[in-house]
A = this chain, B = another copy of it.
Amino acid sequence: MRIGQLARRSGVSVRALRYYEEQRLLESARTSGGQRDYPDEALERVQLIQDLFAAGLSSRTVVELLPCVSTGVATPAMLDQLIIERDRIATRIQDLNRAKTKLGRVIENVTAASVAKD
């Protein structure tokens, strides 16, 4: 599969895919002409990378953790890192819930006020 098709299937830009390669997050074979050629599994991997990015992990962290996320095998240091990141995500979720609750209350207030006027 070539880069444009992978981009369309995964929903990320061509530039992003090249960037992932630059960061060693994603490999590609090359055609005789030098164009990238991806196996089908690349799609899955790109989606995984996106998930981890969306979770706020940096590309540096992702490149460290991708092997064990893919293979299920990890060194103790990697396990520590995994736990740290999971906890960071958990904390972040709590922060977001607080903010969401806050906005929710504001929305309720405003809505109630406007209904009261009716």
Chain A positions within 8 Å of B, measured between CB atoms, are: 48, 51-52, 54-56, 68-69, 72-74, 78-79, 82-83, 85-86, 89-90, 92-93, 95-100, 102-104, 106-107, 109-111, 113-114
Contact = CB atoms under 8 A, between A and B. Distances in A.
A21 to B, nearest CB: 22
Contacts of A103: 55, 69, 82, 85-86, 89
B109 A86 contact: no
A95 B54 CA distance: 7
A89 B100 contact: yes
DSSP majority for the A interface? helix
B72 A106 contact: yes
30 contacts: A51-B95, A51-B98, A51-B99, A52-B99, A54-B96, A55-B95, A55-B96, A55-B100, A56-B96, A68-B110, A69-B102, A72-B106, A72-B113, A73-B110, A73-B113, A74-B106, A74-B110, A79-B107, A79-B111, A82-B106, A82-B110, A83-B107, A85-B103, A86-B100, A89-B99, A89-B100, A89-B103, A93-B97, A93-B100, A96-B96
